[in-house]
């Protein structure tokens, strides 16, 4: 049985390894670099080379006892268990974990998205018996628009209000680089100004082969020069004193949550940009079908709705309710 391979806290029994554990463990398999998945202090870490690079930049060279890098699609055998990473399309280096034992296949998706994104290796579908899927946007109200539509709205707002600067709230890892890449691909060649928290990770993305164009620290740029410009900052900074250095800023935020206008209002976001690095409701359902999994475990988000939907499709499904993940996502790092 596939459900015997893994415990409900993502512990692989036969090899005593945990996937994305929230407390330090002897053996940890890390799907990607976001803080609610990658924590410091594990003894041995198995991850993709990009994820290891990200962890080292964020937490320091010795944030784990030892690292072992595993490339995508390369099977890695420990005793009678085989681990293989497949791209999850969420951020640079993000992986789904395929665990095989006795002919049974378990896939733990980590966070993932299906839509093309040149800042992350594109998602690959992996068939399995047991699918452990995230459900960050696991409600049918989440139907993400195409990100190009949202970028076009941002650029129109910039063109319409040349006297103001646009402050785009993005999480520092993944979202920031994706928004920059989307802007570049839409033809925005001007310098993009960065909050200090963005600098290291943007530099790392470039080192790892993701070109982002002319990036400059926003610090010490004269106020007048920032009119008509785009500034990328963490969401917390755009509502903080930090934002006062900009001329009459338009507060923007790039996140899947921004589709709910009442949420945008609460967050004092004037221009919400619905740009998500997770599947929307339709894509979650599509993925579950396409993996042909007979059993689905749901974690990370609105588990109830997706579990209900799976059961209506005749699948075995249950929520995992793993400790340590945000209930409401509002402040979670990955969106």
Binding of residue 262 to another protein (CB under 8 A): yes
Q: Residues touching another protein: how many (CB under 8 A)?
A: 28
> β-pairing, 17-19 with 11-12?
antiparallel
Binding of residue 324 to another protein (CB under 8 A): no
Residue 164, classed as helix, strand or coil, is coil
Query: Given the complex with another protein, which of 15 and 260 has the nearer CB atom?
Result: 260
Query: Given the complex with another protein, which of 72 and 242 has the nearer CB atom?
Result: 242
Q: How far is the CB of 327 from another protein (least distance, A)?
A: 6
> β-pairing, 95-101 with 104-108?
antiparallel
Residue list 169-208, contact with another protein (CB under 8 A): none
User: Which of 93, 272, 319, 332 is close enough to bind another protein by CB under 8 A?
Assistant: 272
Tokens of 39: 């924590």
Q: How far is the CB of 238 from another protein (least distance, A)?
A: 13
- Stretch of 25-33, 37-45, 125-133, 134-142 contacting another protein, by CB under 8 A: 134-142
Question: Which residue in this structure is represented by tokens 């967050």?
Answer: 267
CA–CA gap between residue 77 and residue 277 (Å, rounded)? 30
User: Which residue(s) pair with 12 in the sheet?
Assistant: 6, 17
Binding of residue 227 to another protein (CB under 8 A): no
Cβ 175 vs Cβ 277: under 8 Å: yes
Instruction: State the burial class of residue 257 (Cβ atoms within 10 Å of its Cβ: 0-12, 13-18, 19+).
Output: buried
Binding of residue 309 to another protein (CB under 8 A): yes
DSSP 224: G
Cβ 144 vs Cβ 256: under 8 Å: yes
b/e map 104-130, b = 16+ CB within 10 Å:
bbbbbbbbbbbeebebbbebeebebbb
Q: How far is the CB of 191 from another protein (least distance, A)?
A: 27
- Stretch of 36-44, 78-86, 199-207, 263-271 contacting another protein, by CB under 8 A: 263-271
Q: How far is the CB of 232 from another protein (least distance, A)?
A: 20
Q: How far is the CB of 305 from another protein (least distance, A)?
A: 5
Cβ 318 vs Cβ 329: under 8 Å: no
User: Which of 13, 77, 261, 289 is close enough to bind another protein by CB under 8 A?
Assistant: 261
Query: Given the complex with another protein, which of 165 and 177 has the nearer CB atom?
Result: 165
Considering only CA atoms, which of 223, 225, 224, 199 is closest in space to residue 212? 199
Binding of residue 156 to another protein (CB under 8 A): no
- Stretch of 38-46, 177-185, 189-197, 297-305 contacting another protein, by CB under 8 A: 297-305
Q: How many helices (H) and strands (E) does the chain have?
A: 8, 18
Q: What is the largest CA-CA distance in the chain?
A: 65
Query: Given the complex with another protein, which of 91 and 254 has the nearer CB atom?
Result: 254
Binding of residue 304 to another protein (CB under 8 A): yes
CA–CA gap between residue 286 and residue 263 (Å, rounded)? 27
Binding of residue 23 to another protein (CB under 8 A): no
Binding of residue 127 to another protein (CB under 8 A): no
User: Which of 14, 115, 260, 315 is close enough to bind another protein by CB under 8 A?
Assistant: 260
User: Which residues contribute to the site for another protein (CB under 8 A)?
Assistant: 139-143, 145, 259-266, 268-272, 302, 304-305, 308-309, 312, 327-328, 330
């Amino acid at each position: 049985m596939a459900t015997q391979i893994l415990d409900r806290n993502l512990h692989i029994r036969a090899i005593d390894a945990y996937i994305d554990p929230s407390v330090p463990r002897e053996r940890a398999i890390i799907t990607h670099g976001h803080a609610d998945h990658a924590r410091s202090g594990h003894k041995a870490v198995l991850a993709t080379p990009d994820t290891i690079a990200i962890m080292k930049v964020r937490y320091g060279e010795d944030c784990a006892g030892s690292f072992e890098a595993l490339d995508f699609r390369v099977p890695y055998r420990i005793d009678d268990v085989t681990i293989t990473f497949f791209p999850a399309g969420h951020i640079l280096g993000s992986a789904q974990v395929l665990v095989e034992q006795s002919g049974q296949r378990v896939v733990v998706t980590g966070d993932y998205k299906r839509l093309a994104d040149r800042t992350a290796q594109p998602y690959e579908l992996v068939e399995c018996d047991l699918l452990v899927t995230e459900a960050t946007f696991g409600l049918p109200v989440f139907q993400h628009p195409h990100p190009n539509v949202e970028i076009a709205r941002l650029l129109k707002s910039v063109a319409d209000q040349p006297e103001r600067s646009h402050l785009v709230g993005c999480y520092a890892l993944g979202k920031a680089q994706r928004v920059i890449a989307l802007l570049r691909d839409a033809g925005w060649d001007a310098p993009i100004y960065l909050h200090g928290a963005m600098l290291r990770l943007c530099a790392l993305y470039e080192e790892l082969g993701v070109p982002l164009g002319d990036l400059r620290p926003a610090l010490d740029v004269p106020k007048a020069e920032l009119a008509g410009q785009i500034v990328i900052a963490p969401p917390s900074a755009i509502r903080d004193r930090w934002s006062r250095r900009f001329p009459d800023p338009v507060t923007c935020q790039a996140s899947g949550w921004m589709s709910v206008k009442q949420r945008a209002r609460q967050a004092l976001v004037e221009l919400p940009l619905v740009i998500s690095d997770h599947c929307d409701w339709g894509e979650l359902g599509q993925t579950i079908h396409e993996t042909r999994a007979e059993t689905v475990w749901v974690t990370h988000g609105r588990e109830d709705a997706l579990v209900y939907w799976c059961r209506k499709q005749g699948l075995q499904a249950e929520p995992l309710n793993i400790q340590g993940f945000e209930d409401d996502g509002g402040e979670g790092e990955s969106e």
